[in-house]
Chains A and B, each alone.
Chain A
Amino acid sequence: MAQINVENLCKTYHVGVRDPGLGGALRGLFQRRVREIVALDKVSFSLARGELLGFIGPNGAGKSTTIKILSGILRPTAGRCEVNGLVPWEQRIAHVARIGVVFGQRTQLWWDLPIIESFELLRDIYRVDATAFMRTKDRLIDMLKIAPLLDTPLRQLSLGQRMRCEIAAALLHGPEILFLDEPTIGLDAVSKLALREFVKELNRTEGVTVILTTHDMHDIEALAKRVIIIGNGKLLRDSSFESMRSEVLGERRLFVDFAADNGDIAIDGATIRARDGRSVEYAFDPARTAAHTLISRIAASHDVVDIRVEDPKIEEVIARFYTLHGAVES
């Protein structure tokens, strides 16, 4: 049975606009003009307990809006949505008690309080049973390695330290669903790896459903089994990460270092993408020309030092997908 059900979700923002200059300001006093921005346009999907879903899309695509509606902060303009059988914005208090949310650019901890005091305050706010709290807290402190940070006020922590504390804070009440909105933004490589590892582990061992938005495709690659791509408020694609990759990736790359700088290096079945002296990058479609066929063709006609076959970078794949669907931020 689905844990999250979203049907035809729509959200329209109203943004006040005025004409430029003094005249515009004066007219604005009497007549408020509003521009409508469609952030979500009939988005539907459902999610089973224990899934790990990645949400991607360009800036302004509607990722954050979706998370805000699912977490009960925002009310949609139209459409239905149920999480654990509750309508988030109507049964807000019951709903938010069962979810955990981390926004990469926000904090739910208290700026001036030592981390441990924030945790204790959250225990009281969520009415967590004292023994359950001790158990969860100790485990999270251990897993996220935040024991040395507990006596420090939030404002004195680095971003990486802060994010680990934020994630612990979001999990203290044992939520069934964890929403992560750009959790790795601004983190260094080590922190990113640690965070991915933790989320994966949490999903695997505790069965916590995770919904993640990110611009970092390595987050998606490392974590998400399922990916939803959203652009201009529309759901463009909902599939497994691998199938998305292979579909968009109808193409592979062949890198050849020639022994000499000979003139004609064109080959049947491949196009030249880039050339730097003796090094040449070809693109080819493996469904039409197999890699070994290409390699033997090259080797037959040229002296070759090195040959490598690679997949395009994941960022490139996604960027191409956005462009294909006209989803680039307008």
Chain B
Amino acid sequence: MTALPYLAILRARFVLMLQYRAAAWAGVGTQFWFGAIRVLTLVAFYAGAGKQPLNLPQVVTYIWLGQAFLAMLPWAPDAEIAAGVESGNVGYERLKPVDTYLLWFARALAWRAANTSLRAGPVFVLAALVLPLTDMADWRWRLPSSPTAATLFVVSITLTALLSSAITVLLNIVTTAVRTPRAASFLMGFTNLFSGLVLPLALFPDWAQPFLLWQPFAGLADIPYRIYFGALAGPMAAKGLAAQALWIIVLALIGRWWLDRVMARIDMQGS
């Protein structure tokens, strides 16, 4: 078995997603605006607080990373597959001589990669290059703490893309199993809270920290961001990467097993 079909799907889908430039620009605007609001909120929060696990420049950078890589978060199932579930088209995926799990995974990965690559650049330009030229230089997106941190961040954010795709495929499967895309939306709140998007996970109470590091959503945002500015370094960074890899494997195994079962009992009455 070769990877050719899956790479072809990934490439076609990636190119296709790049066509949605208007949506991407709107996204950049929104993400910059919300990023600014969240920075202001945290600045106010920090002004009255004592010593925190992350310093203010780190938290501000954390927020900008969150805005730049927002499209990595698996909020919803693949829109086309969800539409296929409602129309009954989803069974026709089985007509292609490819593994359906890998097909869906390749689609999800292309979606995450294309959306992120359209948004991350402009948010970086605005927050890391333009902001320092204004009198809001304190609220800028800072560069990685060291070359090592930068390298580890690249590894970690790549794992994030894989983890996010594994979760997206699970959402596709849930959607197919219960036959409505709405079923998957309950996960969105969890994703936001436990990925660190609402509040960096380091700011949660100490007793929750071991759990927070090893739950699946940390790998979607918190782990790569903390690696970026060196708050997770050395053995801690290794633990973070291990947590990401572990969840990719676990979720992919669950997804594979579950997809076969769902597809075996799918019914498509009528044409």
Chain A interface (Cβ < 8 Å from any Cβ of B): 13-15, 37, 39, 60, 64-65, 68, 71-75, 89, 92-94, 96-97, 101, 103-106, 108, 110, 112-113, 117, 120-121, 124-127, 181-182
Contact = CB atoms under 8 A, between A and B. Distances in A.
B249 interface: no
B95 A72 contact: yes
A125 B99 CA distance: 10
Interface string B241-271: 0000000000000000000000011111111
B97 A68 contact: no
A97 B5 CA distance: 13
B268 A73 contact: yes
A117 B14 CA distance: 13
A127 B92 CA distance: 19
Contacts of A73: 91-92, 94-95, 268
Nearest to A13: B269
Given A124-B4, A125-B8, A14 B95 contact: no
Interface of B: 2, 4-5, 7-9, 12, 16, 19, 89, 91-92, 94-99, 264-271
Nearest to B4: A124
A103 B87 CA distance: 14
Contacts of B9: 121, 124-125
20 contacts: A14-B267, A60-B270, A64-B271, A74-B91, A74-B268, A93-B97, A94-B97, A96-B96, A103-B271, A104-B271, A108-B92, A108-B96, A112-B16, A121-B9, A121-B12, A124-B4, A124-B8, A125-B98, A127-B5, A182-B271
B5 A125 contact: yes
B4 A74 contact: no
Nearest to B265: A75
A108 B269 contact: no
A106 B271 CA distance: 9
A15 B94 contact: no
Contacts of B267: 13-14, 74
A246 to B, nearest CB: 31
B97 A181 contact: no
In the A-B complex, the 10 residue pairs with the smallest Cβ-Cβ separation, listed nearest first, are: A124-B8, A97-B97, A125-B5, A13-B269, A73-B91, A96-B97, A73-B94, A93-B97, A64-B271, A121-B12
Given A74-B267, A74-B268, A103-B271, 11 more contacts: A37-B269, A72-B94, A75-B264, A96-B94, A96-B97, A103-B92, A106-B92, A113-B12, A124-B5, A124-B9, A181-B271
A106 B5 contact: no
B8 A96 contact: no
Nearest to B269: A13
A110 B93 CA distance: 12
A181 B268 CA distance: 14
Nearest to A124: B8
A112 B19 contact: yes
A117 B15 CA distance: 11
Contacts of B19: 112
| Most chain B CB inside 10 Å of its own CB: which residue of A13, A106, A108 | A106
Contacts of A15: 269
Contact of A105 (B95, B96, B271): B271
Nearest to B13: A110
Nearest to A170: B95
Contact of A96 (B95, B265, B266, B269): B95
A68 B264 contact: no
Nearest to A173: B97
| Most chain A CB inside 10 Å of its own CB: which residue of B5, B95, B266, B269 | B95
A15 to B, nearest CB: 7
A126 B16 contact: no
B252 to A, nearest CB: 19
B95 A108 contact: yes
A49 to B, nearest CB: 21
A12 B32 CA distance: 54
Given A74-B91, A96-B95, A106-B89, A127 B4 contact: yes
